[in-house]
Amino acid sequence: MAFLADALSRVKPSATIAVTQKARELRAQGREILSLSVGEPDFDTPDNIKAAAVAAIQRGETKYGPVAGILPLREAIAKKFKRENGLDYKPTQCIVGTGGKQILFNALMASLNPGDEAIVSAPYWVSYPEIVALCGGTAVIVPTRAEQGYKLQPEALEQAITSRTKWVILNSPSNPSGAAYTRDELKALTDVLLRHEHVWILTDDMYEHLVYGDFVYTTPAQVEPRLYERTLTMNGVSKAYAMTGWRIGYAAGPDRLIKAMDMIQGQQTSGACSIAQWAAVEALNGPQDFIASSKKAFEARRDLVVSMLNQAAHLHAHKPEGAFYVFPSCAGAIGRTSAGGRKILSDADFVSALLEEEGVAVVQGSAFGMGPNFRVSYAAANATLEKACARIQAFCAGLR
């Protein structure tokens, strides 16, 4: 009898973590490695949020809290959804998890049975299909196209829905492409979903505040109120407030789903870290100046990276609407040989050779379900981005 669970055979290790580990190993050997592989703001958590955490410690807020989250945070979450998204949720319809991943796990574990399907558009965040698989479901991957901005099209969504479809997972702005859906684009998708009453929507809005230019952000239940009763709207403080290590994700949705998620979390981790929750209260209720300043910096970095990548031989980079990623195609590099003698037969080969020869860490697009591409995170200082992109240009110029 095998010791390890069969479920592990359906799951792949995280490619982003693997690239980060390889970069660490090369640094340990004395190499200068420029990492553009991590989806994490390089800014520090704002001082008012850190001060709120310190104050919570000093007040003795160090005991177990409710599984679903402390009431002041759930109230802040409900106010945030009303203030920024026009969505009415009671605090009892809100739940706090240890990061967005736990929210996803809870929702899918509470709802998926063997044979149930969840539609995921590619390129996708690496964890979506893996979490679906671990929860016993089947991820149905629907490819998108660069010329359509890497966005799921309503016709493709319609064709992917079957009697076994339970969820559609949407992510706007997207990791890894940075694609963000306009109100009209979301309406076209919600029109399809109105015709299929058995399908629920899980919308990952983690990068909500990182949209650029005159883009106006909207979320599915806001665009189509008739889908309110079968939409789980997920968000968190990680990206907008540079709080990745605090591990606070949250969601709001119909009572019966939130209660089921609460029950699962009660047997899994119980409530999230009490101190991090008080910090998140300040993040949501306190001054929001940090968002505007960091967004301005990210937009300038996006423009820099897209421009430099498009000056590299054999690459083409689409200009994304949001998040802090660019997802360039390296199709022109396939079949060539690097200056170091490495044959480039796939995007994984491209990424590996780039890391070994030029010391730049990025993640292959195939890890996100689409290649030949690679993901560049521009959540790094401008000087680092300029140096890394110059090295990418040099690497591409050496391809023969």
Task: Report H helices in the chain.
Answer: 15-28, 47-59, 71-85, 100-111, 127-134, 154-160, 183-194, 220-223, 255-268, 274-285, 289-310, 347-358, 382-397
Residues forming a β-bridge with 171: 204
Please report the pLDDT score of residue 234 as a whole number: 98
Note whether 37 and 385 are within 8 A (CB). Answer: no
Task: Flag whether pLDDT at 24 surpasses 90.
Answer: no
Task: Flag whether pLDDT at 17 surpasses 80.
Answer: no
For 254, counting Cβ atoms within 10 Å of its Cβ (0-12 exposed, 13-18 middle, 19+ buried), the class is middle
Please report the pLDDT score of residue 9 as a whole number: 82
Summarize the confidence of residues 271-295 as an average pLDDT: 98
Please report the pLDDT score of residue 5 as a whole number: 87
Structure tokens at 233: 């709207």
Summarize the confidence of residues 376-380 as an average pLDDT: 97
Residues forming a β-bridge with 329: 316, 373
Considering 285, 320, 355, which residue would you say is the last residue of a domain? 285
Do both 350 and 207 map to the same domain?
A: no
Structurally, how many domains does the chain consist of?
2
Query: Would you state the torsion angle of the CA atoms of residues 393, 358, 37, 343, taken in this order, to the nearest 10 degrees?
Result: 80
Considering 285, 311, 331, which residue would you say is the last residue of a domain? 285
Please report the pLDDT score of residue 8 as a whole number: 82
Do both 140 and 32 map to the same domain?
A: no
Residues 27-74: tens digit of each pLDDT: 999 999 999 998 899 999 999 999 999 999 999 999 999 999 999 999
- Tokens 């020869």 locate to 357
- % of the chain exceeding 90 in pLDDT: 93
Q: Element (H or E) spanning 121, and its range?
A: strand 117-122
Q: Element (H or E) spanning 272, and its range?
A: none
Spatial distance between the Cα atoms of 193 and 196, rounded to a whole number of angstroms: 5
Do both 81 and 197 map to the same domain?
A: yes
Task: Flag whether pLDDT at 14 surpasses 80.
Answer: no
For residues 171 and 16, the model is more confident at: 171
Mean pLDDT of the chain: 96
Which DSSP category does 219 fall into? -
Q: Element (H or E) spanning 170, and its range?
A: strand 165-171
Q: Name the band, by pLDDT with cuts 50, 70 and 90, for residue 15.
A: confident
Task: Flag whether pLDDT at 10 surpasses 90.
Answer: no
pTM, two decimals, is: 0.95
CB atoms within 10 A of CB 43: 14
Do both 22 and 68 map to the same domain?
A: no
287 φ, ψ (degrees, to nearest 5): -55, 140
Considering 250, 285, 320, which residue would you say is the last residue of a domain? 285
Comparing CA positions, the residue from 176, 129, 146 lying closest to residue 16 is 176
Comparing CA positions, the residue from 243, 232, 252 lying closest to residue 282 is 243
Cβ-Cβ contacts under 8 Å for 147 (sequence gap 6 or more): none
Domain assignment of residue 105, yes or no: yes
Q: By three-state DSSP, how is residue 363 classified?
A: strand
Which domain does 164 fall in, by range? Answer: 60-285
Please report the pLDDT score of residue 301 as a whole number: 98
Do both 278 and 317 map to the same domain?
A: no
Do both 336 and 391 map to the same domain?
A: yes
Do both 71 and 134 map to the same domain?
A: yes
Do both 234 and 305 map to the same domain?
A: no
Spatial distance between the Cα atoms of 148 and 241, rounded to a whole number of angstroms: 30
Do both 81 and 15 map to the same domain?
A: no
Do both 187 and 310 map to the same domain?
A: no
Say how many Å lie between the first and final Cα of the chain, rounded.
51
Please report the pLDDT score of residue 187 as a whole number: 98
Task: Flag whether pLDDT at 96 surpasses 80.
Answer: yes
- % of the chain exceeding 70 in pLDDT: 100
Q: By three-state DSSP, how is residue 375 classified?
A: strand
Please report the pLDDT score of residue 22 as a whole number: 85
Task: Flag whether pLDDT at 353 surpasses 80.
Answer: yes
Please report the pLDDT score of residue 18 as a whole number: 78
